[in-house]
Structure 1
Amino acid sequence: MTARTASWLPLSPGERSVAIEVLVHGPLSRTDLAQRLNLSAGSLTRLTKPLIESGLLVEVGEGEPKGVPAEVRQGRPSQPLDVVAGSRSFLGFKITADRVYGVVTTLRSDIVARHDRPLISHEPAGIVALLGEMTGELTRAHPGIAGIGIGVGGLVRDRAVVGESVYLGWQDVPLAALTEERTGLPVVVENDVAALVEAETWFGAGRGLDRFAVLTIGAGLGYGLVLGGRRVPCAEEDRGFGRHWIVNAHGPLTPDGERGSAVSLLTIPSIRYQVQAATGRAWTYEEILARAADGEPLPARVVEEAARALGTLVAQIANFAMPQKILLAGEGVGLMEVAGGTVAETIRSHRHPLAAPVDLETKVSDFHDWARGAAVLAIQVLVLGAGREELSDGG
């Protein structure tokens, strides 16, 4: 069976709604599922029948192992419905400036394998060849791969073409088509932050929330907003978020940001740049945090400025977007361990005294977590049958 015929396509809008509800929140009884989707019992039966017949959904009972097909035991209409999480696997890749990180996930996005390889070249042909090699290695160890998701920092069009990626030096690279040709598997490409937001909305910190925001700090800044349970697409989300968000007009100037911008105060390269400019030494981000925690004056000052910038950003997001939760993620969140008190104090100072406390969740993410986000995009498109354009309009 090929990867394309292994997908459960096509799904009608009603079938897709049922599949998503069970995938994200299951196992669910039919009564609960009908109430959640405002469906009659007859309509639900009509929609679930083809999903069960195709193997996307199965009936499970209390005390029985999940994933046992309904036909091998006595099923009852009252039995809860669930997906067979291990029935299909998905590949997710995150491309950075110097490495490609890959994961294998289940249908519910649980990571079952990790793999990464260094980049030798930024040429599209070289990266596609590397993706092909990694796909071959992972599919040999994990048969049944249904598709691939790829996350790239930069502007991505139609979940297929990398319109611009500064750190790769790319413009108008048809990455999905090239990788499909190389691997023989269907491919979805997306901006890495957008993919992470989708993954956290479906399977992570934002699951079940109507209003949810994600702020990532690391080599750059990323921001994503979810309203009505759906990610809000934005033309600027792939083009250097934070570069013109001025947090302190008298703050530091870096080669890549406006003076006092969120980028110049908060990103890992900017923090390292500030310390190196003052000391003449190139310290790692971890060394700077450790020395700040020990009270060394210069690193402590730079880290405190970064913490105040972060607190200001979080407060502004809370004030204007009014999310139920804000997730702080990325490889730079170690800042919270050293200066979390300053972040919290700054948030309070920028909020109304009677405002509810901000529900701020911190998640230390490595690049494999970003790759998992790309795999979730593949699940959305390939399993649920939503087209690239449809998902681009709202997730």
Structure 2
Amino acid sequence: MTPANPPKTDAKRHHDPEIRGFASDNYAGAHPEVLAAHALANGGHQGAYGEDDYTAHLQQLVPGHLRASAGAFPVFNGTGANVTALQALTDRWGAVICAQSAHINVDECGAPERVGGLKLLTVPTPDGKLTPELIDREAFGWDDEHRAMPQVVSITQNTELGTLYTPEEIRAICDHAHERGMKVHLDGARLANAAASLDVPMRTFTSQAGVDVLSLGGTKNGMLFGEAVVVLNPDAVSHMKHLRKLSMQLASKMRFVSVQLEALLAKDLWLRNARHANEMAQRLAEGVRAVHGVEILHEVQANAVFARLPHDVSRRLMDRYRFYFWDEAAGDVRWMCAFDTTEDDVDSFLAALKEEMAR
């Protein structure tokens, strides 16, 4: 089809595209360049289940960002990526050490434990970040048959609280875990935002820091759907292809996942999108700091702003803009910026916040 003869559809628009919010970067649509890539991959017949030219080309792109030996396994979503990756790193009796606030513990409906069949050993953290000392609270009992065996440390970059690990902090965690015979998984749902904020290549705090397996995010950074499990250390896993299928994450028309990842990674779209989202979060944080009675809870290092304000103000503001309570009892909320958040979006939200605080 050409622009002069656009394709027709019987589907109808069921939402108002002018409505904006700060609930999640998942609320954003797909980036136009990703949509264009999707259309590019359409038409004709291509091999199914990853036997296509787009997935083959992805295997050439990913190593350039991460490691020469890296292998990418496209999957449907982030939970699927995490569960598949953790299964690949553990035995049936294995356990995973993670922060108590980790997505795999709080927001995946028990999938790592119920679907993956592994035990999560959680550690409270003040800022969502593990340290070697915190890891040691659960890193013991390898020879105790009565206890699930700690085999993996899972960290998130950036964390669920919007904080960042430095490359040196991740290296220290990886060295500590490896010295104890454990492997390291990194949940990188917002990996691009971390790289943009740190102003370093993704490899600096993943493969070069010693991470064994990575869940590489895309949906929160402009893709329609899809993520990838990236094996950085081939010696750390086995039978990834079989585990992906067993975990119900093998796409029959994989080219439509792979081409989206190509759209992000081929040049700098992944970085442009992430930098913009981060910049909008900084703009939002700067405006919030000027509002008396609103407290920013964590350093704003990526595209999330965590704040505390009166409960009734949040409720009224939610009638105007969609966002979530993080801890409703404490009055804590989370505001997320996305690749398509505009300066006008931020400024309008700040004006509404000031109005509601003044009531």
Q: Same fold (TM over 0.5)?
A: no
**TM-score band w.r.t. shorter chain:** 0.3 to 0.5
Q: TM-score, normalised by structure 1?
A: 0.30
Structure with higher RCO (Cα < 8 A, 6+ apart): 2
